[in-house]
Amino acid sequence: MIKIETILCPIDYSEGSLEALNYALHFALREPARLCIMHVIDVRYLEGYTPLEVANPDSETVSRMKDELVGRVPENLRAKVNLEAVVAVGIPVIEIVDTAKEKAADVIVMGTHGRTGLAHVIMGSVAENVVRRSPCPVLTVRQA
């Protein structure tokens, strides 16, 4: 029998990631499991910042970002789910996989952007690369 104790749900605030959060909440309530929601500040898109500024967001900024993550969980469910919010700085694929290992995640539930063609070649697919590198199963939720 499969026992899910920890679910990791990366959120980039896209429709797909927010839909993935709905799935993750469903599983977390059903099991019950700890739900670790995370956001990665992608250093590849932060032009004009020095590495020190990016690598060391102040505690107030991190706290605000964690509150925003928790705020995406409907208020009536927050007390029913063991929630943990994580904010990481780096390359999303690496940070998600590392957090899955660190938190001993049993499953990652994440959205996809559904990019195809040139956009997929240029942007790559975070979800696709997480699936390839993940230490646990990954459930991907496609953006409608």
pLDDT in tens, 76-96: 999 999 999 999 998 899 999
Q: Does 77 fall in a domain?
A: yes
The C-alpha atoms of residue 110 and residue 140 are separated, in whole angstroms, by: 5
Overall domain count for the chain: 1
Q: Does 1 fall in a domain?
A: no
Q: Does 126 fall in a domain?
A: yes
pLDDT per residue as tens digits for the range 6-55? 999 999 988 889 999 999 999 999 998 999 999 998 877 655 555 545 55
Owning domain of residue 98: 6-142
The whole-number pLDDT of residue 51 equals 53
* Tokens standing for residue 66: 């964690």
CA distances, 37 to each of 1, 9, 49, 104 (Å): 25, 5, 26, 14
Q: Does 86 fall in a domain?
A: yes
CATH number of the domain at 57, please. Answer: 3.40.50.620
Q: Does 81 fall in a domain?
A: yes
